[in-house]
Amino acid sequence: MKHCNFCNDAIIFGGVRDADGQYCNSRCQDQAAARRRSEQAMRANKVQAIYTVQGVAEEMEVFDDKLTITPKGALGFMVKGLKGTKTILFFSINGMQYRKPGRLSGYLQFTIPGGNESKGGLFAAASDENTFMFDAKVDDVVIKVKDFIEKRIKEGRQPAPAQTASAADEIRKLAELREQGLLSEEEFSNGKKKLLGL
């Protein structure tokens, strides 16, 4: 049985492949490529993390557009085995679950396509590669991280500002109207000032 190189779902029939592996569809392929580019850029630029948080068995690093979870120490090895650093791009996050640390560890769990986060309670959470477990002394930072990621996801969903292009288009339209004699020079120049925010 073949599995998708991005979401790990079984590929029963069809799928797409490239030099780096096999995927369910072009959406998974695109997301895998984006993740690879982002990892390459990070290595090339030695980008500094905005937050670095030590968890119970992992270290979490948070960047402008992604976070990484790296198993640390003997416990990290026990619960996550030889899984290396897991990179989660903000745009692929469908949801986040936060549990405040108390008598038990807290956790921050990320729902991403193909993730296995909701299957089987706390022990499953500990071994889930999309979950960061932590204790009370880093709770403040984890809350900041959670707010930061929520904010970045919200910003990412807003359409990119295209103000300059659309203002230029509008001015061009006004110029056409002037050429056709439908606008006076003064009306044109007032409209242009308005569009340029002058």
The residues that touch Zn ion, with contacts defined as CB under 5 A, are 4, 6-7, 9, 24, 28
In this complex, which beta carbon is closest to Zn ion, that of residue 25 or of residue 97? 25
In this complex, which beta carbon is closest to Zn ion, that of residue 29 or of residue 68? 29
Q: Which helix (H) or strand (E) holds 61?
A: strand 58-62
Which residue, among 40, 12, 5, has the nearest Cα to 26 in the 3D structure?
5
* Residue 12 Cβ vs Zn ion, minimum distance, rounded to whole Å: 12
| Contacting residues for 34 by C-beta, under 8 A, at least 6 apart | 89, 91
* Residue 120 Cβ vs Zn ion, minimum distance, rounded to whole Å: 22
CA distances from residue 96 to 149, 159, 188 in whole angstroms, order as listed? 9, 22, 51
In this complex, which beta carbon is closest to Zn ion, that of residue 28 or of residue 126? 28
* Residue 119 Cβ vs Zn ion, minimum distance, rounded to whole Å: 17
In this complex, which beta carbon is closest to Zn ion, that of residue 39 or of residue 135? 39
Which residue, among 143, 2, 131, 155, has the nearest Cα to 65 in the 3D structure?
155
What does the chain come to in residues?
198
H helix runs in the chain, sequence order: 26-45, 73-80, 121-127, 139-157, 163-179, 185-196
* Residue 5 Cβ vs Zn ion, minimum distance, rounded to whole Å: 8
* Residue 92 Cβ vs Zn ion, minimum distance, rounded to whole Å: 11
Cβ-contact 22, 16 below 8 angstroms: yes
In this complex, which beta carbon is closest to Zn ion, that of residue 115 or of residue 191? 115
